[in-house]
Amino acid sequence: MNTEDRKLELIENVINRIRTRMPGEQAEAAARFVANYYQEVDPDDLAGRSVDDLYGAVLSHWHFIQRLGDGLPKLRVYNPNVPEHGWQSSHTIIEILNDDMPFLVDSIVPEVNRQGLTLHLIIHPVMRVVRDENSQLIDVAAGRHGTVGNLESLIHLEVDRRSDAPALDALQSGLARVLEDVRAAVEDWPAMRTRLADVLAEINRNPPPQEPAETAEDRDFLQWIADNHFTLLGYRQYDLEIENGVDVLRVAPDSGLGILRGGTDTVSGSFATLPPEVRAQAREQKLLILAKSNARATVHRQAYLDYIGVKRFNRQGEVIGEHRFLGLFTYTAYNASLTDIPLLRRKVNRVMERAGFLPNSHGAKALAVLLEQYPRDELFQIDEEQLYTTAMGILRLGERQKTRLFVRRDPYGRFFSCLIFVPRDRYNTELREQMQDVLMTAFAGISAEFSVQLSESMLARVLMIIHTPQGSAPEYDVRELEQRLAETARLWEDKLIQALIDHCGEELGNQRILRYGAGFPAAYRETVGVRAAVYDIDLMETLAQCGGIAVNLYVLLEDPPGALRFRIYHSEGPVTLSASLPMLEHMGVRVIDEQPYCIARRDASPVWIHDFGLRHDLTGELPIERLRTLFHEAFLKIWRGEVENDNFNRLVLVAGLDWRQVKVLRAYGQYLRQIGFTFSRSYVQATVAAHPAIVRSLIELFEIRFDPNHSGDRAVHEETKVKTILEALDQVENIDDDRILRQFLALIRATLRTNYYRRDEGADLKHYLSFKFDPKQVPGLPEPRPMFEIFVFSPRIEGIHLRGGHVARGGLRWSDRMEDFRTEVLGLVKAQVVKNAVIVPTGSKGGFVIKRPPPPGDRDALLREGIACYQTYLHGLLDITDNLVAGHVSPPPNVVRHDSDDAYLVVAADKGTATFSDTANAVAREYGFWLDDAFASGGSAGYDHKKMGITARGAWESVKRHFRELGLDTQSQDFTVVGIGDMSGDVFGNGMLRSRHIRLVAAFDHRHIFIDPNPDPETSFIERERIFALPRSSWADYDGKLISKGGGVWPRSAKS
C-alpha cells in the first residue's frame, strides 16, 4: 500500500470511529472537520502514526474551536495525557485558532525555531466555519469556496517536548506575541499604504531642498516599494525637536501602525543612543534614509527589519521630523534587475561611469554582472564611494583563488558588514565558523549572521554581518584581518606544502608532498599540525632503512605533568594493542588513550601511525631531552626481540639507563634465578625499579670494573663507589629489598670478566652477554662450587659452563630444563670431576637452553634454532677466554680481567649436541683459538662419538661382566631391558645395539614414553637400528605396528 492510500485509510478509520462514538448531527460535522483537517497533510507525515494518535489530535482541536471565548487568536500549548485530555503524545502540542490572514505559518515556525525546538509535525487547514451570535460553532463547511460562514485558520504543531511550566509559558507568550504582531501588521496594512501615498503627495506638494533629479529618484523609489516590492509591517511619525540643546526624535501621538502601534515610548530610544555625529545626520537635507533595523521581524520571516525613513521638511527646507516605515523587501525586490529599481540603478550607473570601461567591453560586462549579483541588502545601504572601491577590488580579484575581505561599517555603529571571498573548494562550515570567530573577536561582536553564494565561480562569497554594541568603535586593520582569514582559509595541505619546502627545500619538499600530500586522513589533519606532520614524514621516510618501524616520544605543551605522547610508525600493517601495550607498560608508563592513523603513500605501502597518550608516576620534571633517545632505543630493541619484554625495562625511565645497561641487570637477575635465589623474578624487578639511585650506582660500579677505557685508578674508584653503594643500602628500610640489592652488588664484585665491551667484526657491540664469575664470592651459591663459572645470556639463549679447575674437560648439553638448567649441569659436573680424575686433572660441564623455540612439530626449524643458540653460547664462552698466540697468552680485546691467565677451554659432545662438534670448531676458528679443531672432540677431524660408540662400548663390557656373574650371556640369551634415553643418543643408542638379544620393554626420554610389553628381540633390534641411523630421530619414529599388544609411544605432555 502506498502512502497516499495509507493516509486515506487512516482518515476513513478516524471518521468511522467518530461516527461510532459521537451523536448523529455532531458526528457528521466532526467527520467533515476531520476530512478538511487532514486533507493537505503530507502522506509521509501520517504514515507512521496510529488511528489513536490522529483521532486524539483532531478531536482535541475540534473541541478547542467550539467557542471563541475572548476572541481571536486562540492559543493553547500543552502536553496531552490520557487521564486529563483523553489522548497522549510524546511531543508538546500547540493548537491555534485564528481568522484567516497572511503570514501566520511563516511567522509561527520561526518563533518555534528561535526557542530551540524541532518541529515534528504541522497541520494547517483553513476552514469555512459557521458560528452563532455567541461565537459558538454550528457547522463546518465541506469546502472553503462557499459564502456561508467565515474562513478560520487552524494550526496544529508538534514540537520537542517541554515539561517544565516556565518553558511552556515562554513558548505560549512568544507565540502570542507573534500572533499579535501578525494581526497588527495585517489589519493596519491598508492604513500604512495610505500613509505611504500621503508621503508621496507631501513630497509633490513640498519638495525637499535637494537636487530635483535626486528627489525624482527618491520619489520613484517610494512608488516602487508601494508597488508590492516592500512588505509594510510598521509605521510611525516622529517630530525632530531640540531639548536642552540636543536633537530628540519625539513620537507623534497616535501615529503608530502595524507592529509600531501602541506602546508607551514618547521618544525614539535608538536615536537617543546614537553618537552625536550620527544624530547630526538627521539634520542633513537628504530625503531618504535606508538602513537595517537592529530588531528582527516577528512577522513573515525572521530577518532584520528594513528601515525606510522619509524626512519631513518645513517651508524653509529644515528637517522637522520623519516618516518611518518598517518592513521587509519582497522576494521580487531581490530578484528584479537593478535597472528596474530606483536608487540602485542610479548608484550602479555612477559606479559604472566612474570605472571608465568602454561600452560592451569585457570589463564593463564583468562589472555589470558583479553589481547585479552583489548582495541586494548591501546595495540598498552602501554609499557610492564604498561600492565603487569594493566592486573594483572584487573585479581585480577575478578568478584568482585568493582570500579577500571587504569591510563596511554601519553608519549607526550597530554592525560590520564583511564580504569575504575564499576559494570555493576550500569553503565548508568549519571554515565559515573559523572565519566568523576571527571577525567576532576583531570587532568585539555580540552576534553574527551569514549568507553564502556558491556558483560556477572559483570563489565562494560569504557575507557576514557582525553585530556589535551600539556606538562601539573597535580599531581594526582590514589587511591584517584579511591575512588572518587567508591563513584560516588555507587548507592543511597548503600549509604542509609550505612547511615541507621550508624544512627540506623546494625540490625534496615537492617530492614528499607528491608522496604523502593526499594520504593524511581527516582525523589526522584535524588533530596534528603541519610542523608535526613534517617530522612524521621525516620518520616515515626512514622506515625502509629501519626495518619498517620508527618511534617518537614527545610532550605536548598543553599536557599536564606526568603526561607523555608516544608514536609508533609501522609500514607493515597496524600494530595491535595486545602487542604494544605490554611493551609500554613494562617500560613504566600507563596507556591512557590511542589514536591510529593510516597514512597512504603514492608509491609505497601505507604507514600506520599509532599515537598513544601515556602517564608516568615519576616525581619531579622528566628530563625528556635525555630520556627520549634511551626510550626510543629500548622500545625498538624490545620490538625486534633483541631485548626481553619485562619490568626491568622500567629502569629506562626511572633510572635513566640505556637498554644495554638494563640488560646487564636483567642478566644478573636471570643468573640469580638459576642459582635458586629466594625471591621471585617479578619481586626482583620491582625492587630494582624502586631504588633507581642505587641501581645507577651499581651500573657505574660495573662500568668502573670493566670499561677498558676507564681513566684513573680503577681500584680506588671501585672502592669509593662500593662505599657509596653500601651507605645507600644502609638507608633501605625493607630488609628484602636490601638483600636483593646486596646480592646484585655481590654478583658484580664476583664477576671476573665480561664481554660487555667487546664488538663483533662489524664494530657492533655484542647482542649477548657473558659473565665469568668467581663462585667463591657469590653468596648463597649451591655446593659444590666450581673454580670458574661462565653465564651466557641473550633473549634467545641462556647457558652456563662450570669448570672444576684451570684444566678441565666435559661436554656441553642442549638442556630442556628452562627453570633450573644450572642445577642439572651442577649435578653432571660432579660426576664429570670424578670421571676425569684419571684422565685430566678435573672435569667441566656446560648446558644451554633455547628460549624461543619454533612451533612444535617442525624438527628442522628446531635444529636450526638449536645450532644458532649453541653458536651464540660458544661465542659467549670464547669472548672472555684467553688465547695462546706463539706460545704467549693473549687476553681477549676490550675485556678487563680480574683473574689470572686462563687459556684452557675445551668442550665435548653431550645430549643434543653429539653432531655439533664441527660447528664448535668452526666457532673456535673464528677466534683463531689456539686449540683449533681440538677445541671440541669428535667431528669430521676427530672421533665421532656416536659412530664409534666409545662410551657405550666401554659401558657394555661392564654389563656383560655383570650378567656373566649372574650366569647370563647377553650375547646369546634374551633378556629384558628398561632404559632412559632414545635411539638418537650416543650412549643409549649404541648401547641398545650391543646385543641382538635385548628385549627393550620400556624406555623414556624428555619427549616420549616407549612401552613394548612383549617385544620380539630380532624385529625390535632391526627397528632400533633403523631409527638409530635416522637423523634427529625420536621414539615417535618407531613403527607402531611392530610394538606388541598393550604397548605404544606416548608424548610426555599427554595427561592420560
**Among all residues, which ones are annotated catalytic?**
845
Distance (Å, whole) CA 960 – CA 1006: 28
The SS3 assignment for 968 reads coil
| CA distances from residue 34 to 37, 38, 41 in whole angstroms, order as listed | 5, 6, 12
* 884 membership: H or E segment, kind and range: strand 883-885
633, 653 in Cβ contact below 8 A?
Answer: no
> Which of 201, 114, 69, 97 has the alpha carbon at shortest distance from 157?
97
Distance (Å, whole) CA 787 – CA 902: 12
As a whole number of angstroms, the longest Cα–Cα distance in the chain is 160
CA dihedral over 395, 396, 399, 400, signed as positive or negative: negative
What residues contact residue 963 under an 8 Å CB cut-off, 6+ apart? 969, 970, 975
Cell of 1006: 624428555
Following DSSP, what letter does each residue of 79-148 receive, concatenated? ---HHHHS---SSEEEEEEEE--TTHHHHHHHHHHHTT--EEEEE--EEEEEE-TT-BEEEE-SSSSSSS
784: preceding bond cis by omega (within 30 degrees): yes
* CB atoms inside a 10 Å sphere around CB 269: 9
282, 266 in Cβ contact below 8 A?
Answer: no
741, 691 in Cβ contact below 8 A?
Answer: yes
- Residue count (the chain): 1056
> Which of 727, 681, 748 has the alpha carbon at shortest distance from 896?
748
21, 13 in Cβ contact below 8 A?
Answer: no
993, 953 in Cβ contact below 8 A?
Answer: no
Distance (Å, whole) CA 73 – CA 898: 108
Distance (Å, whole) CA 542 – CA 726: 46
CA 692 to chain centre: 34
Distance (Å, whole) CA 184 – CA 129: 23
Q: Per residue, what are the HEC states of 293-361? A: EEEECCCCCCCEEEEEEEEEECCCCCEEEEEEEEEEECHHHHHCCHHHCCCHHHHHHHHHHHHCCCCCC
Question: Position 1037: which residue type?
Answer: D
Query: What are 317's strand-pairing partners?
Result: none
Cell of 516: 604523502
Cell of 464: 557576514
The pairs formed by 1036-1040 with CB atoms below 8 angstroms and a separation of 24 or more are: 1036/1007, 1036/1008, 1038/1010
Question: Position 409: which residue type?
Answer: R
Distance (Å, whole) CA 40 – CA 369: 42
Following DSSP, what letter does each residue of 976-1014 receive, concatenated? EEEEES-TTSHHHHHHTTS-TTEEEEEEE-SSEEEE-SS
CA 669 to chain centre: 39
CA 593 to chain centre: 8
Cell of 105: 505559518
